[in-house]
Amino acid sequence: MKHASKAVRYTLIIMICLMCLIPFYILLVLALNSPQRIFYEGNIFLPDFDWQNFVLAWNKSKIGTAMLNSALITFGTLALTIVTGGLAGYAIARRNTRYNKFVFGLLLSCMMIPGIINTVPLYTLMQRIHAVNTLWGMILVCSTLALPSAVFIYSTFIRALPKELDEAAALDGCTGFSTFWRIIFPAIKPATASFVILNGFGIWNNYAQAVFFLQSRSKQNIPQALSIFFQQFGGGDWHLMASTAFIAIVPVVVIFLIFQKQFIKGLTDGALKG
């Protein structure tokens, strides 16, 4: 009986995993097809193994630069939002004054407003402070988009922390900032891990803002590098698109695999205990 249920569980897990790998398999098949391939002819499941595509894709898409830009933007944005959002989440959870209620309400409300209606005034502002076509400008814009989520996650997690933590810190003579930085922040690793997981790849793959604020090819990010393979009146260069996308995914998977222990540990480490 127990063996049977174990077998069922394993089968289920394997099936779910296979399902989640299907998109990657398709991407790989596309990446290895020759440009002459008539896509739906012959054995669709078996690619042509045209490895040349990866070389071509690398050169044509400048994906190397794009990956570096995406990495810098993602790292900068996460750092900025974790610090400012963590502090704000702490203040909101622990000092529930009218002012902080206002801050929380404002941030959360704006999460629900489609950013597109800001575009023109934001572009004008960015233009004025010479932030267009710079990575720091893009980091600022991405940060404001991720900030509500950070504040929401941090305040939710910090509320679940026992108040005794703060009180003990206060007895030790900690100020508000040092209580947060020395006591609270380490205790809410799960919040940080959740935030990174929920928002990190969205920033890595940002397209909606990138098209306005990253212009020259030396500044462009991964989705923009991919967009070079789509034509307006016509299909795309699928083999090159897919091999570029594959190149861009590899480092992410590697980083994720290396850090997943820490991630999962971070998720479960905290004092999220009542």
Partner 1 sequence: MQKKRIDYSQFLSLPALILFSVFFVYPLLKGVGMSLTNWDGMGKASFVGFKNFIDFFADERAISDIRTTLIFAVGSAVLLNLVGLGYAVLMNSSFRGKSLARVIIYLPAIISPLIMGYIWYFLLQPGRGFLYHAFQQLGLPDLIGNWMSSYPSALAVLVLVNVWQFAGMTMIIYLAGLQSISGDVLEAALIDGATPWQRFYRVTLPLLMPAIRINVVTNIIGSLSVFDVIMSLTEGGPGYATESLSIYIMRMCYGSRTGYSTAVAMILFLIILVPVLISMRLTKSKA
Partner 2 sequence: MLLVAAALCSLFAGCSSPAAETSEAPPAPASSTEPSEQTPELKDVDLAFFTGKVETVDLLDEIIAAYNAQSGGITVEQEYQNDASNIIKIKFASGAAPDVMTTYEQEYVDQGKYLDLSDWNDVWDRLIPSMRENCTDLNTGNQFRVCTNMTMAGFWYNKEIFETLNLEPADTWEGFVANLEAIKTAMPDVDPWFIFGSEAWHLGHLIEFMPHGYIKAKFGATEAKEAMLANDKAVLNFGDPSGAMATFASGLLEVQSKGLINADVLTATNDNCIDAFVTGKAAMFSNGMWCLSSILEKDPSMADKIGFMPYPSMMADGTPMVLVAEDSGYSISADTQYIEEAKSFLEYLFSAENQKKYSESLGSPSAFTDVDADWAPAAVVEGVNIAIDSAANIGYTNEKPAGFSGDDAGRMVQDLLAGRYTAEQFATAYEEAWDAGFAS
- Token code pair at residue 72: 């810098």
Q: What part of residues 253-272 is at the interface with partner 2 (CB under 8 A)?
A: none
Do residues 66 and 131 lie in contact, with contact meaning Cβ atoms separated by under 8 Å? no
Do residues 206 and 142 lie in contact, with contact meaning Cβ atoms separated by under 8 Å? yes
Residue 212 binds partner 2, judged by CB under 8 A: yes
SS3 letters across 81-133: HHHHHHHHHHHHHHCCCHHHHHHHHHHHHHCCCCHHHHHHHHHHHHHHCCCCC
Q: What part of residues 26-65 is at the interface with partner 1 (CB under 8 A)?
A: 26-27, 30, 39-40, 44-45
Selection from partner 2, partner 1, none that 35 binds (CB < 5 to 8 A by kind) is partner 2
Burial of residue 134 (number of CB atoms within 10 Å: 0-12, 13-18, 19+) = middle
Choose, by CB under 8 A, the member of 3, 4, 19, 40 that binds partner 2.
40
For partner 1, the closer of residues 161 and 219 by Cβ is 161
What kind and span of H or E run contains 262?
helix 238-269
55-63, 71-79, 212-220, 256-264 -> range binding partner 1 (CB under 8 A): 256-264
Selection from partner 1, partner 2, none that 141 binds (CB < 5 to 8 A by kind) is partner 1
Contacts with partner 2, residue ranges (CB under 8 A): 35-36, 38-41, 60, 101-102, 104-106, 108-110, 119-120, 123-124, 127, 132, 211-212, 215-217, 224, 227-236, 238
